[in-house]
């Protein structure tokens, strides 16, 4: 077990190492199996991150719009923009985000 962990983590201290061909073949299978398991785990982790991004995409887009309105207020000498205009902009971008991502 110690040999497996040090080899799979690429530390490889060298205090334990295979002595004959049967041990070398066994270690080759241990390392290949470890790399395969690690790849599957990383693939699942990346899928989880991608799903999280898809779920929160609408919230992120809304945050960007709020920042844009804040920027407009800054360039409007601290005055808020007209509420009707703001509502029309929000409706436009909500439609675009929902139906036309391009």
37-84 per-position pLDDT tens digit: 888 999 999 999 888 887 776 666 667 777 888 888 888 888 888 888
Q: What is the mean pLDDT of the chain?
A: 80
**Contact present, 18 and 27 (Cβ < 8 Å):** yes
Considering the entire predicted model, what is its pTM?
Answer: 0.47
Report d(CA 62, CA 83) in Å as an integer: 17
Instruction: Residue 64: name the closest of 26, 99, 17, 96 by CA.
Output: 96
Quick one: tokens of 88? 């029309």
Query: Residue 80: which residues within 8 A CB-CB, separation 6 or more?
Result: 73, 86
Amino acid 44: pLDDT: 94
The CA–CA distances, whole Å, from 31 to 3, 6, 12, 25, 72 equal 10, 11, 12, 10, 58
pLDDT at 12 over 70: no
Amino acid 70: pLDDT: 82
Amino acid 40: pLDDT: 93
């Amino acid at each position: 077990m110690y040999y497996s962990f040090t080899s799979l983590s690429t530390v490889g201290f060298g205090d334990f190492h295979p002595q004959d061909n049967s041990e070398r073949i066994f270690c080759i299978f241990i390392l290949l199996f470890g790399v395969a398991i690690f790849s599957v785990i990383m693939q699942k982790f990346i899928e989880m991150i991608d799903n999280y991004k898809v779920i929160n995409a609408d919230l992120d887009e809304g945050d960007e719009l709020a920042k844009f309105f804040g920027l407009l207020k800054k360039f409007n000498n601290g005055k808020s923009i007209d509420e009707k205009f703001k509502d029309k902009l929000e409706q436009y971008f909500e439609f675009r985000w929902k139906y036309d991502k391009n």
